[in-house]
Structure 1
């Protein structure tokens, strides 16, 4: 089970990030995250996990909040760190995987299982979800 305590909300400046607002932006978000992870030295198999987690979080933003979101990616202490900030409320983590028959509800459970750490906290813009994957 990944860590889920609140993060220090500091990170790189916005040059290391991008905003997204509509479903057509999701392809660009995945490309941005993949390119940043390559440039920062992440192994290919880990990049696929990162892209999956980011896709789940950003899709969640567009389905359940208004105004889109912003994503930042950088490396700190041997981990690739990715913040997803949106105008939603804090998300409950520490959840069980929904049954195979469930229509919805797997996104955050998947994020928790593919990341080495997951943190969430309220920020002035709404909610920050920070995912970390060991390089």
Structure 2
């Protein structure tokens, strides 16, 4: 329910579960839907790259499967990715710097934050939800 206007949220443009075997299809479908809903050029590439980083993190670190939902809200595209893993350690979310070149991994969250217009992480022992926002103009 959209509490500001007292209206029900619109149905998602895309609502799908994913795992290792469906990553390519999920990424392609995300790109198609985002392109049809106002993202173009480098904004589309950046958004799809951020979504892909999140999908790969879920498959690699959070139980191997998750759910992706995508909505349009005016001139913003909203993406929610949920997993069923053990949660992200707080130190990973608190550290906003680029990991050292010698560090293996650790760039997914950093990229998600920089490639989108906004990213929020809610995490705990029952899983993590990542919300990403991308303006369709700008």
Specify the TM-score bucket, using the shorter chain as the normaliser. 0.7 to 0.9
- The question of whether the paired residues in 1 share the 8 Å contact of 2:12 and 2:70 is answered with no
Match of 2:16 among 15, 18, 27: 18
Aligned to 2:3: none
Structure 2: stretches of 5+ with no match in the other structure? 1-7
1:60 offset after TM fit, Å? Answer: 0.3
1:50 offset after TM fit, Å? Answer: 0.9
- The question of whether the paired residues in 2 share the 8 Å contact of 1:18 and 1:71 is answered with yes
TM-score (norm: length of structure 2): 0.79
- The question of whether the paired residues in 1 share the 8 Å contact of 2:13 and 2:70 is answered with no
3-state SS of 1:97 partner: coil
- The question of whether the paired residues in 2 share the 8 Å contact of 1:38 and 1:47 is answered with yes
User: In structure 1, how many angstroms separate the alpha carbons of the residues matched to 2:131 and 2:118?
Assistant: 8
Structure 1: stretches of 5+ with no match in the other structure? 1-9
With over 3 angstroms needed to count, the CA separation of the structure-2 counterparts of 1:61 and 1:81, relative to structure 1, is: same
1:30 offset after TM fit, Å? Answer: 0.9
Is 1:30 aligned to residue 31 of structure 2? no
Match of 2:36 among 33, 39, 47: 39
With over 3 angstroms needed to count, the CA separation of the structure-2 counterparts of 1:27 and 1:103, relative to structure 1, is: same
1 or 2 for the larger relative contact order (CA 8 Å, sep ≥6)?
A: 1
1:83 offset after TM fit, Å? Answer: 0.6
**Number of residue-to-residue matches in the alignment:** 125
Report runs of 4+ in structure 1 exceeding 2 Å deviation. 10-16
Any idea what the Cα deviations from partners look like across 1:28-78, whole Å, max 9, x if unmatched? Answer: 111111011111121222110111001110100011111500001111142
- The question of whether the paired residues in 1 share the 8 Å contact of 2:122 and 2:130 is answered with yes
Q: CA RMSD in A?
A: 2.4
Q: Rg: which structure is higher?
A: 2
TM-score (norm: length of structure 1): 0.81
User: In structure 1, how many angstroms separate the alpha carbons of the residues matched to 2:75 and 2:12?
Assistant: 21
